[in-house]
Amino acid sequence: MKTAFVYSDEFARFDYGSSHPLKPIRLKLTYDLITACHLLAPPDPRVVEPLLARTEDLLTYHTKDYIEILRAVNSGEYVVGAEVYGLGPGDNPVFPGVFNWSRLIAGASLKAADLVDSNEAAIAFNIAGGLHHAHASLASGFCYINDPVLAIKFLVERGRKVAYIDIDAHHADGVQEAFYGTDKVLTISLHETGQALFPGTGFEHEIGEGKGEGYSVNIPLPPETGDELFVHAFTEIVPQLIAAFKPDVVVSQLGVDTFWSDPLAHLNITTNGFCHVVRLIKSMASKWVALGGGGYDIASVARAWTLAWAIMNDIDAPEEIPATFLHQYPGAGLLSRKLRDTPFVIEGEKEEKMRWEVNRVIKYIRENVTSRI
């Protein structure tokens, strides 16, 4: 199976600001760990440099006035009225090159989609992608341009049926919104419940509208959910939906802010549950566009996406993080030399309550969604 790793060192050149939780340097960290583990050895897989997305690419989803305001703040200087578009201090800061950054990420996801659609690769992975909160004319949740939506639209315009699977801790609200009324795209989001986490959406009753009714699937998880229930929720719903929908291409967002060490969410996933789900996605996808996503403990991001890339290539990643990498990044926050986590087990009354809630959601989806596909 041919694979492509869409990457540029330019990803890490941009900076949201020293106090912002999203650190683009995590992308360079991931690439260097993958390289240290010898997972990018020639002749295959291959590293592919992305190009900046064109304005016409961005306008397939985003509004012209929004793109114009993003271009206007690219210098890093605030422009009057930018706050109307979600830009300013806080989650979506104006920083030097913000428009170039957004175009580069979008271009990388579009390149991944093109590589897969043209059969140049069966799997293409853009670790910088997955910015799933951006809306048509609004920056949101650290996201300025919604690259998953652009990649999916690129594929749909070529006549492909697309299934989107999102395992980020945060609900894929921007992607859901873009395809809420169509049956050409099946969107599935597995995330921490909106009762406890931004953006406050993604409840099981959000199932689409019009022709899209039943094609929007949300699996909200209670806070503190661990590996076993995470995998249980996924396996009870997702394979059945994918088998019924029969997509031509699977686009997935592999956010790792679900991890126990992440500072912005409240789940307890480890590399064990994450890798189990990544293997399941691989088994369901004859063509697969994989995107990164959230993740604010940069050491966990690098470890998880390194393991994901190994799975995509049917390679056994090493048990130990290579010494060369540890010497290169002594301050990366690595808590051990191990690439994989030890299992995180939750038992007793807390686990029983969470299991009841997860099974309630599974039952609702089976009764109200599954039969519609």
- The string of pLDDT tens digits covering residues 47-72 is 999 999 999 999 999 999 999 999 99
Each domain of the chain, given as residue ranges in start order, spans: 3-372
9 alpha-carbon distance from chain centroid: 19
Which residues make Cβ contacts (< 8 Å) with residue 219, sequence separation at least 6?
Answer: 188, 189, 190, 191, 204, 233, 234, 237, 361, 362, 365
Residue 43 has pLDDT above 70, yes or no: no
Residues designated catalytic: 133
Over residues 77-82, mean pLDDT: 95
Of 32-46, 240-254, 314-328, highest mean pLDDT? 240-254
Q: In what order do the strands lie in the sheet with 216-221?
A: 46-48, 3-6, 123-126, 288-291, 249-253, 162-166, 185-192, 216-221
What's the pLDDT score for residue 332? 75
Q: With 0-12 CB in 10 A as exposed, 13-18 as middle and 19+ as buried, what is 258?
A: buried
Confidence of residue 372 (pLDDT cuts 50, 70, 90): confident
Lowest mean per-residue pLDDT among 193-197, 224-228, 309-313, 334-338:
334-338
Which residues make Cβ contacts (< 8 Å) with residue 299, sequence separation at least 6?
Answer: 29, 261, 332, 333, 334, 335
What's the pLDDT score for residue 1? 58
For the chain, the average pLDDT equals: 96
pLDDT tens string 128-175: 999 999 999 999 999 999 999 999 999 999 999 999 999 999 999 999
7 vs 127: CA distance, rounded Å = 8
pTM: 0.97
What's the pLDDT score for residue 141? 98
Residue 44 has pLDDT above 90, yes or no: no
pLDDT tens string 208-236: 999 999 999 999 999 999 999 999 999 99
Residue 297 has pLDDT above 80, yes or no: yes
pLDDT tens string 94-135: 999 999 999 999 999 999 999 999 999 999 999 999 999 999
Residue 275 has pLDDT above 70, yes or no: yes
What's the pLDDT score for residue 57? 98
**3-372 homologous superfamily:** Histone deacetylase domain (3.40.800.20)
> Which amino acid, residue 367?
E
Residue 335 has pLDDT above 90, yes or no: no
Residue 45 has pLDDT above 80, yes or no: no
Confidence of residue 41 (pLDDT cuts 50, 70, 90): confident
